[in-house]
């Protein structure tokens, strides 16, 4: 086979066009590799060549999906590639959905193999893992080098039409496809071998991995709420008007801390939600529907609680990684404890 022709799909950020302020740009095409495409090209060596890079703003794509796909497929078709690489998107939710959508459309409508890469908690994984080859990555671009190294061998196999092995062999996220094969050892022998290794404290690999659920033991009940200092924390994205900390509407990379001194009601003129993924109309009309400051002020006056903490903390839960949420919780908890807070009301959408 001659040198493999590759088209690379990127969002506005990785295509080096701009950040969130450029998220509304429509699809366009550039010649050759751009941004992370340079790393892919180096890894391909002389086996493949990135002939073009197609890019699109994340917001534009997700708000105009059909038009975006139509334009992107036309651009890719004109290049007559042997392979399409999308991303990697890491834990960027909108980008992950775009990469999965493009890869799926390329495979189904153009008959061209495609591969993408994402963090396992990216919402694009659940949407497309059964139809698209997705290589697991770290949650940020810090893992770009590892992502490229993992994606390239699989991509070349697909482009050459070679047989692709299991997810454990090739390193992609399981697609839920089962194939019959003959194992060298029968099931009872394998089960006993695993049991012996477990009893001996030796490492072993189960053939039926179970989901890992994180369990948090509840704290003891508050003895007297009339003396309690209560804080509000929300994943509902309630922020001062204008979203001063620019908390993302999806896959939030930060949280905000906001002052409630003298605030008795979250009015539409002063507060809004930064949250995406649901109709924000009612939250924007009255942010107390998500963050009940008005009711807690009444409880404070009536003596039902000791006091409302001066600050509330807010982030967006939509597509935000569990690892990021744990990090925010650890940081916020330290401040709450230092402030003498004895109870927290955690609200969502």
Q: Compare 118 and 205 and report the one with higher pLDDT.
A: 118
Region 14-40 average pLDDT: 94
Name the DSSP class of 204: -
Confidence at 51, pLDDT banded by 50, 70, 90: very high
pLDDT in tens, 137-154: 998 899 999 999 999 999
pTM of the full structure: 0.65
The length of the chain is 349
pLDDT at position 1: 59
pLDDT of residue 190: 92
3-state secondary structure of 173: coil
Region 198-214: what's the mean pLDDT? 82
Task: Enumerate domains of the chain plus CATH numbers.
Answer: 4-170 (3.40.50.2300), 225-347 (no CATH)
| pLDDT for residue 174 is more than 80 | yes
Question: In sequence order, what DSSP letters do the residues of 149-216 get, joined into one string?
Answer: HHHHHHHHHHHHTPPP--HHHH-PPP-S-------SS-HHHHHHHHHHHHHTT-----SSPPP-----
- Neighbour tally for 99: CB within 10 Å: 30
């Amino acid at each position: 086979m001659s040198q493999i022709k590759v088209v690379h799909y990127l969002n506005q950020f990785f295509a080096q066009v701009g950040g969130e302020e450029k998220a509304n740009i429509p699809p366009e095409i550039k010649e050759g590799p751009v941004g992370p495409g340079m790393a892919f090209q180096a890894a391909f060596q002389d086996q493949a060549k990135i002939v073009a890079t197609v890019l699109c703003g994340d917001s534009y794509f997700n708000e105009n999906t059909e038009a975006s796909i139509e334009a992107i497929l036309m651009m890719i078709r004109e290049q007559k590639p042997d392979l399409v690489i999308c991303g990697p998107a890491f834990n960027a939710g909108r980008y992950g959905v775009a990469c999965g959508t493009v890869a799926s459309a390329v495979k189904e409508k153009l008959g061209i193999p495609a591969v993408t890469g994402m963090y396992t908690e990216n919402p694009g994984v659940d949407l497309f893992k059964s139809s698209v080859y997705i290589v697991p990555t770290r949650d940020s671009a810090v893992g770009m080098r590892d992502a490229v190294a993992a994606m390239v061998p699989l991509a070349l196999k697909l482009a050459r039409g070679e047989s692709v092995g299991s997810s454990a062999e090739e390193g992609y996220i399981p697609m839920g496809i089962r194939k019959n094969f003959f194992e060298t050892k029968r099931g009872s022998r394998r089960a006993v071998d695993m049991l012996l290794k477990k009893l001996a404290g030796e490492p072993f690999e189960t053939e039926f991995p179970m989901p890992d659920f994180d369990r948090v033991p509840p704290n003891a009940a508050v003895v007297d709420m009339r003396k309690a200092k209560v804080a509000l924390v929300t994943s509902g994205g309630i922020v001062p008007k204008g979203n001063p900390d620019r908390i993302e509407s999806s896959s939030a990379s930060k949280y905000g801390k906001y002052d409630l001194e003298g605030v008795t009601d979250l009015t539409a003129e002063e507060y809004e939600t930064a949250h995406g993924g649901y109709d924000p109309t009612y939250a924007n009309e009255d942010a107390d529907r998500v963050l009940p400051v008005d009711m807690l002020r009444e409880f404070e006056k009536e003596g039902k609680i000791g006091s409302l903490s001066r600050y509330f903390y807010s982030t967006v839960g939509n597509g935000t990684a569990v690892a990021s949420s744990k990090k925010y919780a650890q940081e916020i908890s330290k401040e709450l404890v230092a402030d003498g807070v004895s109870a927290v009301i955690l609200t969502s959408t």
